[in-house]
A and B are shown apart, each in its own frame.
Chain A
């Protein structure tokens, strides 16, 4: 068998072949697949099985609840040049990152120094080198067969503390990369299947919960070793030549599948979707004075599908990088997009192939999604936040495209994005503890083209959507759950509503003090991400609440009502039932509570539902009645938004007056018509507002100006639409 060229040379050849043929590795024919379809499929199942063995082993060894209970981890197998062949189940958002990490090792010349050897362990968590944010530790090990590097195995887990300036792993507050925590910058961190002692020493020195961080490292390593063992057996059986050929074909096959789905289920053209994200920090506790600002971020998505079903994404118009940990590198953004693709396009063979079925135009330099060319010190402590918010547009974009071709059952409205809660302080065992809640890993799922979404069933950053058991969380943090019920009307309003979210209520107990951050995994506190599709109304914002220095102990002693949910937004339970030194029922997130919480303090954490689809007055009255019976919608919503006339009987059941409902809905339609104005009139009114900046917050103006500055084409289009002068700025 001919010796393979050096990896850097292989990379160059692959890139050229793809550029010249449009096929991965220049594979215009899938010869192993054609030769023996059975063996081709069989080995695919074996490789999948190998990765899943690693997942089962690695998650059990890992320490963080988010890995072990939430499955926020991944193992993957790669070609020698880094393209991902297949993955385990888990957090597939990382596939692109892992692939680019291996590529980076090669591009940096590591093949010569330090060289690649059997048993070597490499890692990266540094966004400057393709990482997403510091708590996501990416590990890679080369796999050798008869002395030749034939594959890589990689893994990622989310550790519970990354050594950032503030405790935790979702550090939105970091002002710059120097506060982003412990960097492991494309490093060799071990050999002979063991981590170097100085790697362990660094983690012990620079993270707050080193035993947990190292436990996760052992989990990643154990899974990687399993993959190596099993892959070697597979190559023994099927031969190196077959493995090498077939693994490339799996990637090309996946690329073709993605293209075929686009070709058969969508239409060519351009779809644009606006998306905005607020970061309202003015007046809050921040790290640097320069962070005492309100920001709005522009997260536009433009998708172009050409006649050959090639898909191009553009972020033209994205606003500038922000002085918080909410920037992301283009590599990480592309990796997130690959995961989003798997949600809405779907794959049998999930690997790097689909990455090559689409392209992303280089985002504007200096934007939140490409910060380093203009601000090398930009922070990415919570790079996922804008990424998932941007990604949720993909649901609606593809939903519209599927609708155009009649694939109604494949449609979905925008997925929920949410806040994530993090505790840091003394736990109930008297030890220091920091970690995430799992609540945010289980949102309501989006409305479908044919049905409502489901509660607690979906999470945009992991398909393993699950919030686990409250009792497991109580094992880790000094809290008592007082509630975890579904939140009425949190799934938007439409013909089909999104799956509703839920509200967690925590009573602080058994601690001398613990901090809480309602951080940002795509919060929608001031601005709601997505608005629902085709006439639906958006979900309400997610506002968390807390109380410190409460009278809850007295309430308990007196047997009085406590707080188990948010309650009526007009009269929240917290306000009605509790007296406290600090009582904040409507906090705009993200937010770090500025003081430690103590026993009998209270936190109320809303977990988002997803968006709805269709006109709410077209909702089947039976569905409205059912929601009323289950307490999932409020009577005033049924009456005014859905136009349903219903009364509650003595037995508690709701009864709909069908005729009155039809008349009421007709009245709503007539009223809509009456208040409608011709488009031109509306446009002229709005244009005056735009031109004069009327009622426009500084954050909004700054965002538009930033977008226009970074993307001249976008600026021209925007000015053109409103017929504004060429030098117009907000």
Chain B
């Protein structure tokens, strides 16, 4: 019996299920996402993938028996928050901070806005709080930053708060968030005991979430947001995942459904801190890229994902993905480790407008989302998009849009583009199209450089493009930047889902600490100073080993990576340092850790930014525990001739480039073979993506079916 992996990427619009067999072959099934019951969309995409794989209908009903692993990445928790359909959550917090969720912070009112919008006061909006003010209760208590109790917990106030929230207000979950609880959690733990007693007295059984357990790191607003999301959305989201698991079990699937965590790892959907999966959407792509890099022996990869609405980017350096610890999620900052992914509102559906005051081109940042532009007559959009421009230039095939599933009206595109873009610019329609696409490509290129490549040398990095629009824009946004190589894959349209199948099983925990190490201190004093770090590493290591062993892994399967976050004393931003040593027992260990820090710091911030003899400040530590999993294999194929086979050749089509029409060679991606070589100007079409090869580029397909693009003559 052949074994398969099924990985899903449920986006806001579409759900992709990628099916991979043990030979590494893969197909992608797509269906509309069904937020009210995600199992419907999931199973529809699942069965479509089975069809693509040629699984006979008769075998589909019990196909689950052949599934080794099923992984979910997606928006179940996001939908719960967008729709405000989570639990009625009560908040018990330090007295005087009852507004912590409703008031939020200013920075949360301009997440994702451009600077010109940030400076314009009219745009400011707070999101609707997940905990309304009337469900927030303050209790008197305070612990200081050293962990010393200054005001003991007023337990009678906790009792009253719990009674009001659980009995009077009928809350379905409770979040407990006290200041400085990341340093010392005793007040939160004691409050939880009281709440639990009141709950039991009331005959209720509801989740009680403590910030010191959910996210024991500094910054109470983000910690509160994390704890509230966990209390509000994790159980309702888990119910969605159970539905999918149940449907899979009906097909004979015998294991648990797995989900993807924001920091790039899979875990059982019964995982306690499920809020860490809330931001898993773009993670699959990065983890897929990391795995792909391991196959082709490339450790430095710039990952770029072009969708309809956004351009997501991440960067793998020396095989490591940076972690951001306070990402933005649904207009909130949260304390949750997440892969460092930066996004801008730029995609194939990005709207194009002309500012009437200055005749300047404005791209987005909003977009037509799942119905990109007037190409869809029935959708009613009348604002041109980037996709219109690609269509009008002949780069996109009007008969192959989403594999030909969607009817496209090129005439409407032309008329609206002329009226709303070309004429106001005083340009020919096709020149206007080219200008807009070029501008989008520059914006994407600059986003990569600004958000990822500060302090890094592009010549050390391979640029990988994926997402439905990735191959379409990849070479133009690679531009003339001196990347080591530019690559994509035929399954770029379902790459994020594929990436979900490429992850190790992983758990990660962070904890704040404050340790100062003065270079002037004696070696013995320095080693003594860092022992709190070692103690936390040991605690976290044991906790993670315990979690993974409880999930059925053997200790010897588990790899451990200690991490420290270091800055020079006085700064507020730190640098992530994957510790090159397992513990800090000697001066040599410290030299190794701080040597790595100084190397990273100087690369990021220039030599001029380095103080002479600065004191090191370790502010947070983390431990990552991973278990290697079975991943989709990339099969090494024999190389065919350079010329694509006849069935791959679709003919030619006029494509407008640099002010003139040229005949571009058109190819069918599904029929291309390893070893084929294609010279630009060419378009290689698949059902879920289109690779555009400008005239000065060529494409070579290697033995793993990876497309390598180089400039002609390079």
Expressed in whole angstroms, the Cα–Cα distance for A341 and B201 within the complex equals: 60
CB < 8 Å neighbour of B119 from A193, A218, A343, A445: A343
Min Cβ gap A644→B in Å is 19
Given A348-B355, A456-B106, A466-B106, A37 contacting B570 (CB threshold 8 A): no
On chain B, the residues within 8 Å of A214 by CB distance are 611
In the complex, B53 has a CB within 8 A of chain A: no
Contact A469 B570 (CB under 8 A): no
**Complex: how many Å from CA A448 to CA B425?**
33
B360 on the A face (CB < 8 A): yes
Q: Please tell me if the beta carbons of B95 and A564 are within 8 angstroms of each other in the complex.
A: yes
CA distance A339 to B454 in the complex (A): 28
Q: Is the CB of A60 within 8 A of B116?
A: no
The reply to whether the CB of A221 lies closer than 8 angstroms to some CB of chain B is: yes
Q: 29 A-B residue contacts at CB 8 Å? A: A42-B443, A48-B115, A60-B571, A62-B571, A218-B610, A226-B454, A260-B357, A264-B357, A346-B119, A348-B362, A409-B122, A415-B121, A445-B121, A454-B109, A456-B103, A463-B118, A463-B119, A467-B106, A474-B179, A475-B145, A475-B514, A480-B144, A480-B179, A481-B96, A483-B95, A510-B146, A564-B96, A565-B96, A630-B134
Question: In A421-459, which residues have CB < 8 Å from any B CB?
Answer: 428, 441-442, 445-446, 448, 453-459
Inter-chain contact A441/B106, CB cutoff 8 Å: yes
Is A602 an interface residue when CB atoms closer than 8 A count as contact?
no
Contacts of B154 in A (CB 8 A): 559
Say if the beta carbon of B530 comes within 8 Å of chain A.
no
Segment from B10-18, B601-609, B703-711 that makes contact with A: B601-609
Contact of A378 with B by CB under 8 A: no
Instruction: Enumerate chain A residues within 8 angstroms of B83, measured Cβ to Cβ.
Output: none
Q: Mark B452-464, 1 if CB is under 8 A from A, else 0.
A: 0010000000000
Which residues on B sit within 8 Å (CB–CB) of A261? 357
The yes or no answer to A38 lying at the interface (CB within 8 A) is: yes
A215 to B156, CA, bound (A): 47
For B121, the chain A residues whose CB sits under 8 A away are 343-344, 412, 415, 445-446, 458, 463
Alpha-carbon distance A237/B146, docked complex (angstroms): 53
Produce 1/0 per residue, A207-219, CB < 8 A to B. 0000110110011
Q: Is B418 in the interface zone, CB < 8 Å from A?
A: no
Query: Is A410 part of the binding interface, using a Cβ–Cβ cutoff of 8 Å?
Result: yes
A455 close to B126 (CB less than 8 A): yes
Contact present for B360 and A38 (CB under 8 Å): no
Residues on the A chain within 8 Å of B100, using CB: 484
Q: Which residues in A have some Cβ–Cβ distance to B below 8 Å?
A: 36-39, 41-42, 45-46, 48-49, 52-53, 56-57, 59-63, 65, 68-69, 89, 92, 193-194, 211-212, 214-215, 218-219, 221-222, 225-226, 237, 253, 256-257, 260-261, 264, 342-344, 346-348, 350, 409-410, 412, 415, 428, 441-442, 445-446, 448, 453-459, 463-472, 474-475, 480-486, 502, 505, 507, 509-510, 556, 559, 561-562, 564-565, 629-631, 652
Q: Is B133 an interface residue (CB 8 A)?
A: yes
Most buried by A among B154, B180, B442, B570: B570
Q: How many angstroms from the CA of A9 to the CA of B684 in the assembled complex?
A: 57
Give chain A residues whose Cβ lies under 8 Å from the Cβ of B450: 49, 52-53, 56
* Docked-complex contact A350 and B119, CB < 8 angstroms: yes
Q: A57-B605, A261-B357, A509-B150 are in contact. Are A42 and B442 (CB under 8 A)?
A: yes
Contact flags (1/0) for B591-606 with A, using CB distance below 8 Å?
A: 0000000000000111
Tell whether, in the assembled complex, residue A410 and residue B122 are in contact, meaning their CB atoms are under 8 Å apart: yes
Contacts of A457 in B (CB 8 A): 106, 109, 124, 126
Question: How many residue pairs, one in A and one in B, have C-beta atoms under 8 Å apart?
Answer: 257
Query: B425 touching A472 by the CB < 8 A rule?
Result: no
Instruction: Judge whether B623 is part of the interface by a CB distance below 8 angstroms.
Output: no
Whether the Cβ atoms of B142 and A480 lie closer than 8 Å is: yes
Residues 464-520 (chain B) with a chain A CB within 8 angstroms: 480, 514
Contacts of A565 in B (CB 8 A): 96
Residue B439, interface by CB 8 Å: yes
Contact A260 B124 (CB under 8 A): no
Closest CB of chain A to B689's CB: distance in Å?
25
Interface size on B, residues (CB 8 A): 81
Tell me which residues from 578 to 631 in chain B have a Cβ below 8 Å from any Cβ of chain A.
Answer: 604-606, 608-611
Q: How many Å from the CB of B428 to the closest CB on chain A? A: 12
Contact A342 B179 (CB under 8 A): no
Residues of B within 8 A of A412 (CB): 121-122
**Separation in Å of the A159 CB from the closest CB of chain B?**
12
CA distance A214 to B570 in the complex (A): 11
| B138 on the A face (CB < 8 A) | yes
Shortest CB-to-CB span from B226 to chain A, Å, is 13
Interchain CB contact (< 8 A) of B133 among A215, A480, A509, A630: A630
Q: Which of A60, A194, A459, A486 contacts B103 (CB under 8 A)?
A: A486
Report which B residues bind A (CB closer than 8 A): 94-100, 102-107, 109-110, 115-116, 118-122, 124-126, 132-134, 138, 140, 142, 144-146, 150-152, 154, 156, 179-180, 182, 218-222, 355, 357-358, 360-362, 425, 427, 434-436, 438-439, 442-443, 446-447, 449-450, 454, 480, 514, 568, 570-573, 604-606, 608-611
Question: What's the Cα separation between A405 and B573 when bound, in Å?
Answer: 46
Assuming A219-B609, A350-B116, A456-B104, what are 8 further A-B pairs, CB within 8 angstroms? A49-B449, A193-B608, A225-B606, A428-B146, A454-B125, A456-B106, A486-B103, A507-B150
Is the Cβ of B454 less than 8 Å from the Cβ of A472? no
Expressed in whole angstroms, the Cα–Cα distance for A489 and B171 within the complex equals 29
User: In the complex the two chains form, what is the Cα distance from A586 to B105 in whole Å?
Assistant: 27
- Given the complex, which residues of A lie within 8 Å of B435, measured CB to CB? 36-38
Q: Which partner residue on chain B sits nearest A257 by CB separation?
A: B358
B145 engages A474 (CB within 8 Å): yes
Interface contact A45-B442, CB-CB below 8 Å: yes
Complex interface: chain B residues within 8 A of A57 (CB): 454, 604-606, 609
Please determine whether A482 and B96 come into contact, CB atoms closer than 8 angstroms. Answer: yes
* Given A215-B571, A226-B606, A485-B97: A459 and B116 interface contact (C-beta under 8 Å): no
Which of A46, A350, A469 has a CB less than 8 Å from the CB of B220?
A: A469
Write the nearest CB–CB distance from A231 to chain B, whole angstroms: 13
Q: Which residue of B lies closest to A54 (CB)?
A: B454
Chain A residues with CB below 8 A from B568, complex form: 215
Identity of the chain A residue whose Cβ is nearest the Cβ of B182 in the assembled complex = A471
Q: Tell me the smallest distance from the CB of B339 to a CB of chain A, in Å.
A: 18
Shortest distance in angstroms between A476's beta carbon and chain B's nearest beta carbon? 9
Q: A445 near B604 (CB under 8 angstroms)? A: no
Q: Which 7 A-B pairs have the closest CB atoms?
A: A483-B96, A564-B96, A68-B572, A260-B357, A42-B442, A38-B435, A222-B609
With known contacts A37-B427, A38-B438, A471-B179, A456–B105 Cβ distance under 8 A: yes
A46-B442, A260-B357 given; A631·B221 CB < 8 A:
no
* Interface residue from A68, A221, A347 paired with B116 (Cβ < 8 Å): A347
A464-B427 Cα distance, complex, nearest whole Å: 38
Contact A483–B218 (Cβ < 8 Å): no
CB distance from A62 to the nearest CB of B (A): 7
Known: A474-B145, A556-B152. A215 touches B99 (CB 8 A): no
Whether B218 contacts A468 by the Cβ 8 Å rule is: no
Complex CA gap A69/B182 in Å reads 20
A365 to B324, CA, bound (A): 53
**Interface-central residue, A45, A441, A446, by most chain B CB under 10 Å:** A45
Expressed in whole angstroms, the minimum distance between the Cβ of A505 and any Cβ of chain B is: 6
Least CB separation from B567: chain A residue: A60
Minimum CB–CB distance from A428 to chain B (whole Å) comes to: 7
Inter-subunit contact A46/B446 (CB<8 Å)? yes
Cβ of B358 and Cβ of A448 under 8 Å apart?
Answer: no
CB < 8 Å neighbour of A237 from B98, B156, B220, B480: B480
Cα distance A579–B705 in the bound complex, in angstroms: 78
A471–B572 Cα distance when bound, in Å, is 12
Q: Are B604 and A509 in contact (CB under 8 A)?
A: no
CB distance A652 to B134 under 8 Å? yes
Q: Is the CB of B150 within 8 A of A480?
A: yes
Contact A211 B608 (CB under 8 A): no
Q: A253-B358, A264-B357 are in contact. Are A458 and B124 (CB under 8 A)?
A: yes
Question: CA A480 – CA B360 in complex, angstroms?
Answer: 51
Contacts of A446 in B (CB 8 A): 121
